[in-house]
Each structure stands twice: as C-alpha cells, then as structure tokens.
Amino acid sequence: MPLSRRSTLTQFLIEERRRYPSASGDFNALILDVALACKAIARAVAFGELGGMLGNHPAEGGSSVNVQGETQKKLDVISNDMFIRANEWGGHLAGMASEEMDDPYQIPGQYPRGKYLLVFDPLDGSSNIDVNVSVGSIFSILRAPQEVIESGRDIRAEDFFQPGAQQVAAGYALYGPTTMLVLTVGKGVNGFTLDPSLGEFKLTHPQIQVPEDTQEFAINSSNSRFWEAPVKRYVDECLAGKTGPRSKDFNMRWIASMVAEAHRILMRGGVFMYPRDTKDPSKPGRLRLLYEANPIGMVMEQAGGRASTGREPMLAVQPTALHQRIGLVFGSKNEVERIERYHAEPQAYKDEASPLFNERSLFRD
C-alpha cells in the first residue's frame, strides 16, 4: 500500500472510537501520549553515544540500581522520565507504575486525574543498549478501581493488582532498524511503523497473527542446569531434531531483549521461554508480571498465540505485588500448549540422553 494511503495511529484510533459513540476520547488521548513517549525514547536511543546516552546511570558511590537490585542504565532513567512527563499532565490517569520506581507514581496535584492506570517497562533489554542491539518499551493500561475514581485518593500498589485479562490495552515499542509500535485494544493486534519524515506512526502490519506451529524456540541455555524437568524435556526433544520424538529440526534463538523476541515471534512464529527454575528458589521467575508478562501475554493472545506460566494461563494470574516476578512462556499456540502438557504430566522426566547438557564421561554406566 502506498505510504500516503496508510492510516496514521491517530486515524486508526478515531475509527475505533466511532464504534462507541458514547466514548469520551480519554482512552485515545492516553494511547497517543504513550506513543509520544515512545517517539521521544526512540530519538534518544538513536543518538546513542552521540547524545551521551550510553553507560550506567551514575549515583553516589557508583551506579544506581532499581527496586529489583539491577544496575540502571542512563537510558533506563531517561526513558522512565519521558514516560512520566508525556503521561502525567493529560488528565487520563489516576496513577502509574514502572520497573524503575519502587512505588506507584502519584499524579501531581496541579494536574487532573483520570480513570486509567498505566504500567510500563520504559526500556526493556537495556543491558543490550551499549552494544546496539534492539531494545523497546512495554506498556499496559488498566482501569482504575471505581473507588479511586470517586474518592480521588492517592493511588496504592494494590490498585494495580488486576489479572492480565482485565487489561484495557497493551503493547510495546521496538527501537530497531525501524521504530515500531505494536498495539492491542482488545480487538486483535496492529503494528505501526514510525515514519521519520512525518514523525507519525503509520499502520503497516494490520491484524497480525502468530502461526500456530513453529520450528524455532528461544531460551537462555546457560540456565539449563536449573531448569525444571518439563522444560528440559521440551528443549531436549527440540534439539534431537528429525531423529527425535518431534521428527523435525528446530532453530534456537536468544537476544536477551524480550521485546525483540516477542516481535520476531509475532512476525514469523516461535516460542519464548523464561521459565521458573531453581537458580534462586526465592524468586518464582525472572520477568515481572504487571509490566512485562501481562502486556506481552495480551498481545500474544490477541494475535492468536498463547501466553502461560507453564502451569496456567498468564492472563489468569492474580497479582500480589507491584514488582512480582513470574515464569513466562509465550508464542505459537501449539508449542505453548505442549509445554503446558509436559508440566501437567505427573511423571518425572529424566534427561539422561540429553545431547547438549549432559556431563560427558568415558566411565558413565
């Protein structure tokens, strides 16, 4: 389709709103504010070292860390601030929460408050930023509890504790060779590419669908010694290729940027696994439920894929903490369902014949 005939994000949202004559327009305005934040971050990422954007964020005695104890990059802090500044003033939000903030962000008193909550990871995959690998932003929009809207009280952490199925919208921005915004408002998934000559997101990937089958999986194999039996079984069967029980060869990918992994899977299928493991028994997973797993889960499910903990649907999980961690499996529906079946089967899996992860010995029995 010629560029001039493609819908802009604004046009797309207006057309969606026309289906609901009673809609106030607040929701569309909020999406556009999120998109503005993503444009600003895309520009900062593009400048890289030329703009002094690389490296860790300085703090007294060294580098600063976030609530999870992870070292913050300069762009983590800058991106978080861009999200806040773009979204705090519009009167659409009752509050925000982010990976980079310990507590919920209160809308300043000089601005009106609205009926939505915004949760976000301002720069997913930021450990890759210094080596020029694709990174992105992830966001989720929830309705604020009615009691918050009516009373006007400050937002509390528990106001965000809503299962992923209650998300109003979710998506991500990908800062790669092109900048893309991938969005669902509960009626499929659409992809918009940033036209740098106009500064507008244009609809380039309407109604994205994840293929149900795949021959590609993504997992951090350095953690293989900590995997639970169902995950070991699945990976070993994939690695066995045509001569194994799956009777086909698989490719393995790992970018260490979940936005990039999710985008690849949306475009051509695949399965991503960052499962619960035994590396740190105090943590029931590595990824964060509210602003990573739930929004990506909603995008996948709306595109015909599946998102799961391995044991239950991701969007059914009841959050209990603002920065709650969880195991995540998502992607092509048939592969995710296979991994769920392996978790549900009672028998233990013995990986004695693992072609990649076994200890080798001339004297093995």
pLDDT digit of tens for each residue in the chain (365 aa)? Answer: 555 578 999 999 999 888 877 677 899 999 999 999 999 999 999 988 887 766 665 654 545 665 565 667 889 999 999 999 999 999 999 999 999 999 999 999 999 999 999 999 999 988 888 888 899 999 999 999 999 999 999 999 999 999 999 999 999 999 999 999 999 999 999 999 999 999 999 999 999 999 999 999 999 999 999 999 999 999 999 999 999 999 999 999 999 899 999 999 999 999 999 999 999 888 889 999 999 999 999 999 999 999 999 999 999 999 999 999 999 999 999 999 999 999 998 665 565 545 454 544 444 44
Q: How many CA atoms lie within 13 A of 120 on its CB side?
A: 31
Q: Are residues 150 and 254 in the same domain?
A: no
pLDDT value of residue 48? 82
Could you tell me if residue 350 is inside a domain? Answer: no
pLDDT value of residue 16? 86
- Per 3-state DSSP, the chain is made up of helix, strand and coil in percentages (nearest 5) of 35, 25, 40
CB 356 within 8 A of CB 239: yes
Paired sense of beta strands 216-218 and 251-253, if any: parallel
CB 256 within 8 A of CB 265: no
Q: Are residues 256 and 294 in the same domain?
A: yes
Output the six-digit token pair for 142. Answer: 């929830």
pLDDT value of residue 228? 95
pLDDT value of residue 121? 97
pLDDT value of residue 4? 58
Q: Are residues 321 and 220 in the same domain?
A: yes
Could you tell me if residue 42 is inside a domain? Answer: yes
Domain boundary pick from 186, 205, 224 = 205
Q: Are residues 162 and 278 in the same domain?
A: no
List the CATH number of the domain containing 340: 3.40.190.80
Q: Is the C-alpha dihedral spanning 191, 95, 145, 13 positive or negative?
A: negative
List the CATH number of the domain containing 57: 3.30.540.10
pLDDT value of residue 245? 96
Q: Are residues 191 and 278 in the same domain?
A: no
CB 157 within 8 A of CB 143: no
Could you tell me if residue 238 is inside a domain? Answer: yes
- CA dist 299 and 41 (Å) reads 21
Q: Could you give phi then psi for residue 14, rounded to 5 degrees?
A: -65, -45
Number of domains present in the structure of the chain: 2
- CA dist 175 and 39 (Å) reads 9
Q: Are residues 158 and 12 in the same domain?
A: yes
Could you tell me if residue 359 is inside a domain? Answer: no
Could you tell me if residue 200 is inside a domain? Answer: yes
Q: Are residues 168 and 190 in the same domain?
A: yes
Range of the domain at 184: 3-205
Could you tell me if residue 54 is inside a domain? Answer: yes
pLDDT value of residue 62? 44
Q: Are residues 200 and 220 in the same domain?
A: no
pLDDT value of residue 132? 86
Angle in degrees, 0-180, between the axes of helices 74-87 and 26-47, rounded to the nearest 10? 150
Q: Are residues 136 and 243 in the same domain?
A: no
Q: Are residues 200 and 228 in the same domain?
A: no
Q: Are residues 181 and 275 in the same domain?
A: no
Q: Are residues 172 and 24 in the same domain?
A: yes
